[in-house]
Amino acid sequence: MFEFLSSINILAVAVSAIVYFILGAVWYMPSLFGTMWKAELARHNISFNPPTSAEMMQKTILSLIVNVIMVLAVAFVVQATATTALSAALVLGIKLAVGFAATTLGITYIWQNKSFKLFLLDAGYPMVGVILSTIILALWH
């Protein structure tokens, strides 16, 4: 484990985590998918109450931590597969996104009877985030 951590590009991991984090902020903006996402939540009788300032800070920090953990996992796979080319990174990123991000959320959505539209809105963000992270980490080795 420590050997892996000493052999990865920490700056690439940090940049990937920040890109992933910014993607989430943009993804759920009202002008992109936020309005559609809130409407779809309401259709499932799920209310979204904006967090207080203190809650927002806590959620922001926790989200960034989770993004770092995800990016470290992606870095491990990128390193283990010796992926360094854009095309290979794109393919690997899609495999990771579909194989882990989409399927994990998909199982939950199946059992919670949530719509396919809500699934696409919620799964799209981590899928794109994983793909972008894979590309950044593979090219910035």
Per-residue pLDDT of the chain (141 residues; tens, 9 = 90+): 567 677 899 999 999 999 999 999 999 999 999 999 999 999 999 988 889 999 999 999 999 999 999 999 999 999 999 999 999 999 999 999 999 999 999 999 999 999 999 999 999 999 999 999 999 999 997
Question: In degrees, to the nearest 5, what angle opens at C-alpha 70 toward C-alphas 120 and 72?
Answer: 150
Residue pointed to by tokens 């690997």:
92
Residue 29 has phi, psi (to 5 degrees) of -65, 145
Closest CA relative to residue 78, chosen from 7, 14, 11, 20: 7
Q: Where are the domains of the chain?
A: 2-139
**CA–CA distance, 136 with 12 (Å, rounded to integer):** 7
In the prediction, which pLDDT does 1 show? 57
**CA–CA distance, 128 with 120 (Å, rounded to integer):** 11
